[in-house]
Amino acid sequence: MSTYFNEMYEHGQVREPYARLEDWTRAMPAELRQMKQAEAEALFRRIGITFAVYGEGGDPDRLIPFDMFPRVFTQNEWRKLERGIKQRARALNAFLLDVYGRAEIVKAGKVPASLVYQNEAYERAVAGFTPPRGIYSHIVGIDIVRTGADEFFVLEDNCRTPSGVSYMLENREIMMRMFPDLFRENRIEPVDGYADALRRTLASVAPAKCDREPTIGILTPGHFNSAYYEHSFLADLMGVELVEGADLFVEGGFVWMRTTEGPKKLDVIYRRIDDSFLDPLCFRPDSMLGVPGLMDAYRSGGVTICSAPGAGVADDKAIYTFVPEMVRFYLGEEPILNNVPTWQCSKADDCKYVLEHLSELVVKEVHGSGGYGMLVGPKSTKDQIETFRLKIEENPDNYIAQPTLSLSTTPTFVEEGIAPRHVDLRPYCLVGEKIELVPGGLTRVALTEGSLVVNSSQGGGVKDTWVLAE
C-alpha cells in the first residue's frame, strides 16, 4: 500500500507550519464550517469566477470548488522552490532563443532535432527572429508536486498561456475576507503584488520601435472562452486594455486599437489565444480571433507578443525530459528541481517497458493538457488499460509515461469533516527585465478520495497557498 507525505502531520505530530491551523480547525464547529463554505461559494458566484467545460451538455460554466483549508509552506521551503523555478525559467528561455537561432543544443547532440523541428508547436515563422530582451516565454507556469519533506518534482512546464492565476489571487482575497483573525495571527507573505509585477514585466519587453510609455493590451478570444473571467480580471487589475482580434488592425508596421477617439497604437500584447489563431495571413486562414498582419508587425519590431509565438515547443511533454540537460548546457548549473523519471514511447525500448507495465504507470499524450488524454494505470480498469495499449501501439510518438508518484496530501474540508487529499502547485514566474514570482501559487486539490488528478476540468478544486514570513 502506498504511503503519502502528509504536509500537516509527520510521525503523529503537527508540522510546524500548520501549528496554528490545528487550533483554528478545532475551534470551528461543523455548522460554522458549512456556513463559511456556503459564503465562499456565494462570493465566487457573485464575482463571476467560473470555468467552462465543453462538450458535456447543459450549462458549461461551473463554479470551481474552493477548499477553505489553506496549504502552507515555510520560508525555507519557498526559497528552494523559488530558486528552482527561476533557474528553470531561465533555461527554458535560453532553449527557445537557441532553437529559433543557432540551435547549439541540437548541434551538441543534447536534444534530438526531430523533437524540435518536427514538433507541431515549433513555429518557422519566427525562426531567426530575436524578440525583445531575447525572451520568448514571459509567463511560465511550472507544475510542481511534493513527495516528501524535502522532495519536490516538476510535473510539467507551461510556457504559452498558463491559466489559473486569478484563482490564486481570489482565493487569498476570499480567505482574508472570511477569516481576518487567521491573517492577524499568522504572518503570511502577500500575493497581491502579482498584477503590478506582471505589468512591469510586460512593459519591460516593449518593442524596439516604442519610444514612450508602452500601451499594453490583453488579447482574448472573447467571453465564450473558458478563461475569459481571468482575462478581464487581469486587465482590470493592471489597468490595461482588454481587446479582441476585431478591435485591432495593422497599419504602417504597427498594431492599432479602434477606440471612440480614433486609432490608438498598441505596443505590447499579452495574448491569451493559441498561435494558430493569431494571424490568418501567417497561420490558420480561417481564424476570426486574430489580427491580419500581426506577425509582420511583430517581426519588424512594431509590437511585442507575450508569450512569443512558438514558445510552446519548450513545454512539450517529450521536450520536458531534456530540461535538466538545458539547465546544465545553458547555465552550467545542476538542476535545483528534479524532473519526474519519464519513458518516451517514441523509443522502442521505452515503449516496450511501458506496454509491459501499463497498470503501474501514468501515461500522457505529448500535447495533452487539462487532465485529458491520460491513463492513471493503478486507478484504471482492464478495459481502459487495453484501450490505451492500442492507442500507444498505433502512435507511440504521441505518448510518454511516468511512475505513479506518491503525491503529498494536505488537510481538506469534506462532508465528514477533515481528510487528506492530494495536491499540486502552480507558481507563476514572470520573465522580463528581471525574473519575479510572488510567494505562493495555485494549489489544486483532487477532491475525490484517492484521486491523483487535480485538474478542475476533472473535478479538482483549489486552495489558498500560504508562504509564512520569517
Q: Mind listing the pLDDT tens digit for each residue in 230-241?
A: 999 999 999 999
- CA 178/CA 171 separation, integer angstroms: 11
How many CB atoms within 10 Å of residue 158?
A: 22
Model confidence pLDDT, tens digit, residues 30-40? 899 999 999 99
What would the mean pLDDT of 104-120 be, rounded to a whole number? 95
Smallest Cα–Cα separation from 290: which of 346, 347, 249, 321? 249
Helix, strand or coil, per DSSP, at residue 7: coil
Model confidence pLDDT, tens digit, residues 426-468? 999 999 999 999 999 999 999 988 888 787 766 789 999 999 9
Q: Is residue 252 a contact partner of residue 186, using CB atoms and an 8 Å limit?
A: no
Q: How is residue 193 written as a grid cell?
A: 503584488
Q: Give me the torsion for CA of 354, 360, 365, 368, rounded to 10°.
A: -170
- 404 has pLDDT over 90: no
Among all chains, which residue has been given the C-alpha cell 514570513?
469
pLDDT score, position 452: 81
Among all chains, which residue has been given the C-alpha cell 496549504?
71
Q: How is residue 203 written as a grid cell?
A: 512593459
- 58 has pLDDT over 60: no
Q: Is residue 241 a contact partner of residue 276, using CB atoms and an 8 Å limit?
A: no
* Order of all β-strands in the sheet with 264-266: 248-251, 254-257, 264-266
| φ, ψ (nearest 5 deg) of residue 151 | -115, 115
- 1 has pLDDT over 50: no
Residue extents of the structural domains in the chain: 9-79+145-189+428-467, 208-302, 338-403
Of 423 and 23, the structure prediction assigns the larger pLDDT to: 423
pLDDT score, position 81: 98
Q: How is residue 91 written as a grid cell?
A: 533555461
pLDDT mean across residues, the chain:
92
Smallest Cα–Cα separation from 391: which of 426, 412, 409, 366? 366
- 367 has pLDDT over 80: no
pLDDT score, position 53: 47
pLDDT score, position 270: 98
Smallest Cα–Cα separation from 81: which of 73, 69, 72? 73
pLDDT score, position 70: 97
Q: Is residue 172 a contact partner of residue 181, using CB atoms and an 8 Å limit?
A: no
Fold of 338-403: Dna Ligase; domain 1 (3.30.1490)
Strand locations in 327-439 (E): 338-339, 343-344, 361-365, 374-376, 399-403, 409-414, 417-426, 428-431, 435-436
Among all chains, which residue has been given the C-alpha cell 469534506?
414
What would the mean pLDDT of 131-153 be, rounded to a whole number? 96
pLDDT score, position 54: 42
- 417 has pLDDT over 90: no
pLDDT score, position 27: 87
Count of residues in the chain: 470
Residues with Cβ < 8 Å from 62, sequence gap 6 or more?
Answer: 50, 51, 52, 53
Q: Quote the Cα angle for 183-48-193, to 5°.
A: 45
Enter the pTM of the model.
0.93
Smallest Cα–Cα separation from 310: which of 160, 95, 207, 429? 160
Fold of 208-302: Rossmann fold (3.40.50)
- CA 122/CA 131 separation, integer angstroms: 15
Of 418 and 97, the structure prediction assigns the larger pLDDT to: 97
- CA 302/CA 208 separation, integer angstroms: 7
Share above pLDDT 70 across residues of the chain, in percent, rounded to a whole number: 95
What would the mean pLDDT of 377-394 be, rounded to a whole number? 90
